[in-house]
Structure 1
């Protein structure tokens, strides 16, 4: 994977807003590496999809975020939960044939010496009919943190987000609608 400027440099350049600096860093890393991770790990990801379905996207995201986590740790920062975020409270929507879905997840970023810096939202575009990432993942940096404040901020940014159910509620609905 190609390494751009280190996170510490972003924090120096954009010192007035740390979460924005972190968001720019992560966005640039993803922009530079999202396709390379897919190509380099194609066999592993296709095998994961064939064996576990959509869980393969989690494998992809773990590979994509691994060097980002290293940079955060070196800068004295830690995301909670690990990037890309808590799947259980994430929200998803997309087209009817499920070939272009997006899932929004987030993590709060904390300084190791205390205090929350803000929230990084990861938008993952994916396909439910085959393993395919149709578009580059996107990053949104928010100064808000805490579930209620993040949901409120994201609902203002996206009517689709506001209308989508959290994964746990969506899954309960799915189970309720299964034939007996």
Structure 2
């Protein structure tokens, strides 16, 4: 498991709760924090879990990416909860609330999203996650990309993502 703080280059970043106390509580702030975390950990998660993930790919191909996603995003999900945020659907999103139709088999892109709400039920916006993966072998070709949107209607988001 990872600590709530992490190093990026030579500077240490803070937790999401600390970041949100220093900056305005906006969807862009959260997307930036999540992107920094993912950029710092996406390859580390691959290497730490490589043998198990390759075994899953050999048995069930696509299911390996759900497992990888769980390993990568679980610490962030806990931080979102600790910051008093809820996600609809759960972070980083679900297969029914996603689209995959871009890129060659070696670098497919699946787009997930979740609407973030504060404890007082005020909606902050939507976090969009562009998740890159390989259909021919277990491989994550690059870091997932985080985008922020003020749009919160799932139907409009689905159309926007397509």
Give how far 1:95 is off: 3.5
Q: Which runs of 5+ in 1 are unaligned?
A: 155-160, 162-180
1:149 is matched with 156
Match status 1:66 vs 2:78: no
Normalising by structure 2, we get a TM-score of 0.87
Normalising by structure 1, we get a TM-score of 0.79
Give the length in aligned residue pairs. 153
2:144 is matched with 137
CA distance in 2, matches of 1:92, 1:152: 13
User: 1:144 touches 1:153 (CA, 8 Å); kept in 2?
Assistant: no
Give how far 1:10 is off: 2.1
When the two chains are superposed, the root-mean-square deviation of aligned CA atoms in Å is 1.6
CA distance in 2, matches of 1:95, 1:76: 36
Aligned pair partner of 1:122 in 121, 126, 129: 129
Which shows bigger deviation, 71-80 or 29-38? Answer: 71-80
Bigger CA radius of gyration: 1
Aligned pair partner of 1:9 in 9, 13, 18: 18
Consecutive aligned runs of 4 or more in structure 1 exceeding 4 Å deviation = none
Answer 1 or 2: which has greater strand percent: 2
1:169 is matched with none
CA distance in 1, matches of 2:86, 2:74: 13
